[in-house]
């Protein structure tokens, strides 16, 4: 302790200079909007690069599992050739929904940052506006629904995970098509969701598949999970039920961002409808 005090006393001028420099820098950045914005952008770039390096190491350690998932996904996509148009590239494929005359484009992306243990969880992916990504697009994986895009930059995007208190997607029971909403439960279990506001006329069974409905921002029929319990609290005149989520968010490596080519047209028409009300 004595040696530490001697060291500080001997170099006190240097330490005072360092403290003043740090204080000056903080004041300069905090009270100048241009410098503040530049500092934030630089910090984001550094953070993004660190995420990239950490993800490269993580990807190498889980390479076998990732390759197995990609092979299974590729087989699943090829099984859809009879009912869909397909671009045989790694990054994109085209799907035309002939029932509802909607066309979708799936853009593959790599997960470079992900959280599962917070109340509001987000996912960072390595695709941005340069790749055709825009705010509001749905995101899926080979297992099912992941979330939706909320922030986009040129090379990266932030996805609001299904594991988020404000995430809610229109869902339905796969067998009888009864519609409700899928949201994350208050227990913060990364493997559990809650299907709410389902009609009392429905007769769900434990193990029944829950998928996206025609009213969601996803194509209908994408897995959300399976009913695990019929005794969820609340509901009143409606049914609430617990769901085992289809996606294991702790192992998420690759995702697909869904581009609905008619999304802008639909949004414009709906906005016009609201003006006429």
Tens digit of each residue's pLDDT (9 = 90 or more) over 82-117 = 333 434 444 555 555 545 444 678 888 889 999 999
Return the exposure string of 69-96: e unless at least 16 CB atoms fall within 10 Å of the residue's CB, then b.
Answer: beeebeeebeeeeeeeeeeeeeebbebe
Q: Please report the pLDDT score of residue 20 as a whole number.
A: 75
pLDDT at 111: 92
Residues of the chain where predicted confidence (pLDDT) is lower than 50: 75, 78-79, 81-90, 98, 100-102
At residue 77, the pLDDT reads 65
HSE-up (13 A, CA, CB side) for residue 120: 5
* Model pTM score: 0.65
Q: Per-domain residue ranges for the chain?
A: 21-54, 62-108, 168-249
Pairing of strands 138-140, 145-152: antiparallel
The per-residue pLDDT for 156 is 93
pLDDT of residue 230: 85
Class in CATH terms, 168-249 = mainly beta
pLDDT digits 0-9 by tens, 156-201: 999 999 999 999 999 999 988 999 999 998 888 999 999 999 988 8
What integer pLDDT is reported at residue 152 of this predicted model?
Answer: 94
Bridge partners, 122 (sequence order)? 160
Q: In this structure, are residues 210 and 225 in contact, taking their beta carbons and an 8 Å threshold?
A: yes
């Amino acid at each position: 302790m004595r040696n530490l005090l001697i060291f500080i006393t001997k170099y006190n001028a240097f330490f005072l200079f360092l403290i003043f420099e740090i204080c000056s820098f903080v004041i300069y950045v905090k009270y100048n909007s241009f410098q503040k914005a530049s500092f934030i952008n630089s910090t984001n770039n550094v953070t993004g690069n660190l995420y990239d390096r950490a993800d490269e190491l993580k990807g190498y350690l889980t390479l076998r599992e990732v390759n197995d998932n990609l092979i299974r996904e590729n087989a699943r996509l090829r099984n859809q050739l009879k009912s869909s148009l397909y671009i045989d590239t790694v990054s994109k494929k085209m799907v035309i929904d002939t029932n509802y005359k909607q066309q979708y484009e799936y853009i593959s992306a790599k997960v470079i940052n992900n959280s599962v243990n917070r109340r509001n969880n987000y996912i960072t992916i390595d695709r941005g506006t340069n790749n055709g990504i825009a705010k509001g697009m749905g995101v899926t994986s080979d297992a099912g629904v992941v979330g939706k895009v909320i922030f986009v930059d040129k090379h990266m995007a932030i996805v609001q995970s299904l594991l988020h208190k404000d995430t809610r997607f229109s869902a339905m029971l796969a067998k009888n098509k009864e519609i409700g909403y899928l949201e994350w439960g208050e227990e913060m279990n990364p493997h559990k969701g809650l299907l709410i506001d389902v009609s009392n006329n429905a007769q769900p069974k434990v193990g029944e598949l829950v998928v996206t409905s025609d009213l969601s921002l996803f194509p209908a029929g994408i897995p959300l999970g399976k009913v695990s319990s019929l005794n969820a609290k609340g509901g009143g005149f409606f049914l609430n039920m617990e769901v085992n989520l289809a996606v294991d968010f702790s192992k998420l490596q690759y995702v697909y961002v869904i581009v609905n080519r008619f999304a802008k047209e639909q949004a414009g028409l709906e906005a016009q409808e609201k003006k006429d009300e």
